[in-house]
Structure 1
Amino acid sequence: MTTNEQQVRTLDARALKALAHPLRVRIYDLLSERGPQTASSLAALIGETSGATSYHLRALASHDLIREVPDRGTARERWWERPKGRVDMPGPTEAMSPSSRAAAQIVTTEFLRLRHQTLMEYINRPESEQPDGWKDAGLVMTTMLDVTPEQMAELKQELTAVVDAAVERYRGQESLPGTRRVSLRAEVFDLPAASSRGITNQE
């Protein structure tokens, strides 16, 4: 599982374990989605106390998952941001230690839960809450393909190139009038074999 931008950081076991808390995943996700925030603004968004969000912010910062925004805020009200760059969050694998695998499961499950929640909020958003020009701008599409592992690897590379090109094309536009933060998702993965789904192939 990967978040976006150019430079890639693969989380090690210690950073993954530091992130393995639903509230920390939510904070990390909000910093990616909404940009720099304070403990107080995050508390208002999440419905927690600023003391709780401040504690989790410090825990994330101790593993360089987030950082304090330079030249912004005060000693009483610190601003935090997620550093630019792509982050690779390994999913649980059999090669991991039991504790690392458990941490990876927590992080992956929570990120995907939040991703689905965001998608459903978009789908169920009333038309009255859609800004002018954005009503039909989104795309939610699913299709099925029959491919070999080599073809799927090629497709993965093509999709990654499209996403990377979009990131580069629109970099630095956050302050331009009329822009909104959008979620761009690309997923391609193999489905269980027909036999494991209880389906018998018939010629």
Structure 2
Amino acid sequence: MPEHEERKQRRLDARSLRGLAHPLRMQLLDALRQRGPATASQLAQQLGESSGATSYHLRQLAEHGFVEDAPERGKGRERWWQAVDQSIRFDSTDFEEASPEVRGLTEVFLQESAARHARELASWLGTRDRWSPAWSRAGDMSDMTLRLTPGLAAELIGKVHALIDGYRDRVPDKDTPESEQVRVHTHLFPIETD
């Protein structure tokens, strides 16, 4: 699939969650999304894992439709993998009546997602002096507190996601000076104030 072509968003369900809710699988999928197609050996080296482990977990991801062969890359016995979707949507309402096993998997997925966000932010903070001053000024680490109802919170999240999606059509060519892949994290959750 051409790099500029938009990939669809995948909404998690109980079956797909069984295939994804594992820390290494989530890391493999993230690596393929962010860095593009790779072999199990390349991913093993990037993630500090054995190629046997990455091969096994890539096959599990493929079985659940998260990754697929990248046929234009493979030569001989070398198998290249690529992500099928560019983003995942987790909707907690899909799991409200789930079995204890599936609820446990949702916890693994959410905790690993939160840990990944923390790792990415820490990595940016640790390397921000290596970036141009323009990129240092363009980064953001904000927090805000509002008083909202669940309905207003859902509306706000929808508007933020729509705003971000509006930038997908404005993607600069890879050769555009200073264009870089960026990560946008959003978190909205209630806090106790007593």
Per-residue deviation at 1:35? 1.6
State how 1:1-203 maps to structure 2 within 5 Å: 7-91=8-92, 93-125=95-127, 127=129, 129-131=130-132, 133-170=134-171, 173-174=173-174, 176-192=176-192, 194=193, 199=194
Name the TM-score, length of structure 2 as normaliser. Answer: 0.85
The 3 A distance-change label for structure 1 pair 82 and 51 is same
Amino acid at match of 2:52: G
Q: Which residue of 1 aligns with 2:3?
A: none
TM-score (normalised: structure 1): 0.82
Question: Is there any run of 5+ residues in structure 2 with no aligned partner, and where?
Answer: 1-5
Name whichever of 55-64 and 9-18 sits farther off. 9-18
Q: Is the 8 A contact 2:68 2:83 kept in 1?
A: yes
- May I ask how many residue pairs the two structures share in their alignment? 188
Amino acid at match of 1:20: A
Partner SS for 2:167: helix
Which SS does the other structure have where 1:9 is aligned?
A: strand
CA spacing shift, 1:108–1:50, aligned 2, 3 Å: same
Sequence identity percentage? 35
- Cα distance change on mapping 1:148 and 1:94 into 2, 3 Å: closer
Give the root-mean-square deviation of aligned CA atoms: 2.3
- Tell me by how many angstroms 1:152 deviates: 2.2
Separation in structure 2 between the aligned mates of residue 33 and residue 85 of structure 1, nearest angstrom: 9
Which of structures 1 and 2 has the bigger CA Rg? 1
Distance 1:154 1:89, change over 3 A: closer
Offset from partner CA, 1:33-55 (integer Å, 9 cap, x none): 22211111111111112121111
Q: Where is the helix percentage greater, Structure 1 or Structure 2?
A: 2
| Residue 60 of structure 1, CA deviation | 0.4
